[in-house]
Amino acid sequence: MPIAIRPYRDEDRDPLAKLWLDSWRSTRLPVARLATEAGNYDRIGRELAAGWEAHLAWDEDHLVGFLALKRATGCLDQLFVSPEAQGTGIGQLLLDLAKARLPGGLWLRTSAENHRARRFYARNGLRPSDTQPHPTLGHKTVIYRWP
């Protein structure tokens, strides 16, 4: 069965909070140890209320990835794939959706130490534009832009 991508629904909040944590921790970045499933759950509510546009990738009844956009600023705010589904093309599907939803261009922030994500973005036509500390966590990040 092909991967189905659909908009976020309220009943998705628990599995989304878990997938987000599992995927973030799979980076093995020290900063990822600070995250919690409860913190993600709360943040999902805050971000949706502030205008997040979230899309979830499903393999039958298994959540395998998600994308969150802040359309007002052209920001691809989150793109995560479950650890067991990484490398299967789901990230590509989600990034393609982001490009389609923000055809005038987008930007994103990723950890400077997240080399796998950085290679993925470079392969997909995004270019690094500058580095800066993360606005809340303080670690070094790289800003990517498309086109």
Closest among 61, 32, 58, 40 to 134, alpha carbons compared? 32
| Pair of tokens at residue 10 | 């309220």
Ordered by where they begin, the domains of the chain are 4-104 (3.40.630.30)
- According to DSSP, the residues that pair with 56 across neighbouring strands are 6, 66
Q: CA dist 43 to 13, 104, 110, 117, 130, Å?
A: 10, 27, 18, 22, 26
| Pair of tokens at residue 99 | 């490009």
| Pair of tokens at residue 120 | 């993925």
Sequence letter at residue 65: G
Q: How far apart are alpha carbons 32 and 48 in whole angstroms?
A: 22
Contact 39, 33 (CB under 8 A): no
pLDDT in tens, the chain (147 residues): 689 999 999 999 999 999 999 989 998 878 778 789 998 999 999 999 999 999 999 999 999 999 999 999 999 999 999 999 999 999 999 999 999 999 999 999 999 999 999 999 999 999 999 999 888 777 899 999 999
Q: How far apart are alpha carbons 7 and 71 in whole angstroms?
A: 14
